[in-house]
Amino acid sequence: MKKILLALSLMLGMTGLTFAQTKKAEKAKTAATKPAAKPSTAAAPTKKDGTPDMRYKANKEKAKTVAGPTKKDGTPDMRYKANKEKAKPAAKKKG
């Protein structure tokens, strides 16, 4: 009896796997037939969610620029309003 139940459960499991593989193949076919996205007009590359892609040099240089005064070591001086405003959007991304 145990052998029969084991054999039936294996057969059901295998059929489930075969259906899962065909669904993935169908999704891949439909994704390949979709037209390519229009290139963005942004000067620097961005990710799908619109944030700058930090793997590129152009985006890294933009991130280094500071709106207000800096300290001796080059980091933004957070006592000034201009630097605080620039830091607010970065804090929202993490939370």
Cα gap 71→78, rounded to integer Å: 9
Is 40 within 8 Å of 58 (Cβ atoms)?
Answer: no
pTM summary value: 0.30
Is 51 within 8 Å of 45 (Cβ atoms)?
Answer: no
The two three-digit tokens of residue 79, written as one number: 């006592």
In this structure, the number of other CB atoms found within 10 A of the CB of residue 76 comes to 18
> What are the φ/ψ torsions at residue 64 (nearest 5 degrees)?
-75, -20
Q: What is the pLDDT of residues 31-44, one digit of tens each?
A: 666 555 555 455 67
Q: What is the pLDDT of residues 47-88, one digit of tens each?
A: 999 888 989 888 888 777 767 888 888 888 889 888 887 777
Segments making up each domain of the chain, as ranges: 57-94
- The one-letter amino acid at 3: K
